[in-house]
Structures are given as C-alpha cells and as structure tokens.
Amino acid sequence: MTTQQIKITNFIKQKGQVTGAEISSYFGISRQALYKHIPRLLEAKIITKIGKPPKVFYSINADVTVTKNQDELTEIEANKIADQFFIITPPGERKQGVSAFVYWCDKNKLPHKKTAEEYLNTLSKYEQYKKEGLINGAQKLKNTFPNVYLDEIFYLDFYSIERFGKTKLGQLLLYAKQSQNISLMKEIIMLVKPKVDEVIKKYHIDGIGFIPPTVKRERQLMKVLEGGLNEKLRVISIEKAKMFVAVPQKTLNKLEDRIENASKTIVVTENATFKNILLVDDAVGSGATLNETAKKIKEKGICKGKVIGLALTGSFKGFDVISEV
C-alpha cells in the first residue's frame, strides 16, 4: 500500500463507516484523486463497500482474517465450503464460501475446524438423496397423500438442512422473492437451467407449466424464471383463481387445508394436448399444489403421457411447511 492508502485505511478504521465525500474532505483531496486509491483497496480486500450510488459507504473488510482461519481447514474442506456455503447477513450483505462460513461460526461462537467437519458430514448425509443432481420426492408424496397424480417429482436441492439452515439455493430463493432482487433471480436461473434442460430431454417434455403465485408482487420469480429458462416449449396456461381473500399455501398448517386451497384456486385453462408435461414450482413443502395441479391436468385429459413435477427446493420430511417463501 502507498502512504496515502495507509492513511485512508486508518481513517476508515477509526470512523468505522464513511462515505467517499468524508474521506475527500478529511484529506483535502479531490474525488478523482481519491478514486485512484479506493479501487485498489477494494481489490486487495482491505476495505469493503455497501450501498449503491449515490449512497456508498466504506468500511474495513471484516473478512481479512479469513486467510488465517482458512489455514485451519484442509484443501478439500475449503473447496467444498467455497462451493456450497452461502448466506445473506442480517444487514443484507452477500457472503459466500469460507469467509461466509467463518462469519457464521464466529457469530454462533463455534470453532471453525470442528464445525467445518460437522457441516461437510451433514452435506454428505443429504447428498446421498441426490442422483444425477436430482432429489427424488416420489416417496415423500406417497407417504403424504392417499392419491398421487404426479408420475415423478424431483427437487434440485433441499430448502434447508439440519442445524445449518437454508442451503445456498434456499437462501437465494428466499431473498430473491422477499426483496424481488432481479440479480438473485438471474443467478437462480443460471444454477437451475442445466438440470431443467436435462429433465426436459430425458422425459421428452413438450409442454411446461409454472405454478402461479398467490402473493401479489411487482416482480414475480416464476415469471422471471419462465422467461429466463427460455425453453422452446409451449407454456401451459395455469391460473390462480381470485378469491375474496387470497390465502397463500404457506399460511396453512394442516394438510387438508392445503389440498383444499390448491384444489379450489388452481385452474388449468389450457386446451391443447401434450405428450409429457413438466410442472415447475419454486419450493415444495407438502407438495399439495403440484399434486392438485397434476390432478386437474389429468382430469382434463390434456396430457397423454406423464406429468413430471420439478421444484427448485423441497423439504426433507413428509408433510412440511416452508412458510418463508
């Protein structure tokens, strides 16, 4: 670091969180001169920034201790964590990999090395349910419903795992929907599209349906997903009937209530016929919505072959409630 960069770093450390204007004013330098130094400090990960122009704040990067902590982990452990561990912090910062894991351990007052081993063992436990990158949820539905109308149902990942909470895809899904963050939605599309394409090819899908949302939002994840997947298939017309009060599935704790909700609010308005249909949903707790939609498709006789369900995330247990999304 140059002498000026050391001074800027010390000033940021002293103040905790400052704007570019405050740094310029304190040192009596122009904004142009300041921004010869700021990018280099950011690139070196000495400082970090939060916010978007015109309100950007700089602070000392709390992750500068990660290298020391990472030395406690084996290369295999560090690489696995780097690929899998992802969190959005309470203030809304995005953290991924070893730095995110160290942050999470420190926040929960847990030892890094021991917890890393426990985390990887937990991942391995859940990975055994994946075959070719897909989790088969058929048995879960058979254990939940007296009649299953989906011929197959798969998850791309679990929504959460024991002790460590939401998976990477679970985190992305939650915050993409809650904040309507388009960049997170696009990241989800990049992660899931290869597997969606594989399912479409394997099952000779010629029609795709997206489960419509109940909660009204300006930017709907399922619509963004529909456009972003860019599948060259006919999109099946499925609608959510407008009721006097819109009751989201996630608010219902009884299985029979979820079945009734889906049965009376999901309407398949498609009239074309298809060989095989893929139904896509974002998160499956009980699976009632997907199962009831498949039932309506079969009753209407628009599918001559199989109805396949595909959820971005699903719960591990039988009947479960994913209330956040």
Given a cut of 80, whether residue 262 has pLDDT beyond it is yes
Pair 228, 286 in one domain: yes
What is the DSSP annotation of 226-274? HHHH--SSEEP-EEE---SS---GGG--SHHHHHHHHHHHEEE---S-B
Pair 137, 242 in one domain: yes
Domain coverage including residue 89: 64-127
Helix (H, G, I), strand (E, B), or coil: what is residue 163?
coil
Pair 169, 232 in one domain: yes
Q: Which residue has the higher pLDDT, 318 or 293?
A: 293
**Is residue 203 assigned to a domain?**
yes
pLDDT per residue as tens digits for the range 173-204: 999 998 899 999 999 999 999 999 999 999 99
Beta carbons within 8 Å of 185's beta carbon, 6+ residues apart: 176, 219, 221, 224, 225, 228
Q: Please tell me the total count of domains within the chain.
A: 3
Mean pLDDT score, 77-91: 87
CA-to-CA distance for 235 and 142, rounded, in angstroms? 28
The confidence score (pLDDT) of residue 80 equals 86
Parallel, antiparallel or unpaired: strands 277-284 and 307-314? parallel
Given a cut of 50, whether residue 67 has pLDDT beyond it is no
**Is residue 322 assigned to a domain?**
no
pLDDT per residue as tens digits for the range 200-221: 999 999 999 999 988 788 888 9
The confidence score (pLDDT) of residue 65 equals 46
Q: pTM of the entire structure?
A: 0.79
Beta carbons within 8 Å of 76's beta carbon, 6+ residues apart: none
Pair 100, 160 in one domain: no
The confidence score (pLDDT) of residue 234 equals 95
The confidence score (pLDDT) of residue 318 equals 58
CA-to-CA distance for 9 and 42, rounded, in angstroms? 11
Pair 260, 150 in one domain: yes
CATH of the domain at 29: 1.10.10.10
Task: Calculate what percentage of the chain has a pLDDT beyond 90.
Answer: 50
Looking at every residue in the chain, the average pLDDT score rounds to 88
CATH of the domain at 207: 3.40.50
The confidence score (pLDDT) of residue 186 equals 94
Domain boundary among 85, 110, 127: 127
Task: Calculate what percentage of the chain has a pLDDT beyond 70.
Answer: 94
CB 266 within 8 A of CB 295: no
**Is residue 266 assigned to a domain?**
yes
pLDDT per residue as tens digits for the range 266-309: 999 999 999 999 999 999 888 999 999 999 999 999 999 999 99
Parallel, antiparallel or unpaired: strands 55-60 and 47-52? antiparallel
Pair 148, 192 in one domain: yes
Pair 155, 293 in one domain: yes
**Is residue 123 assigned to a domain?**
yes
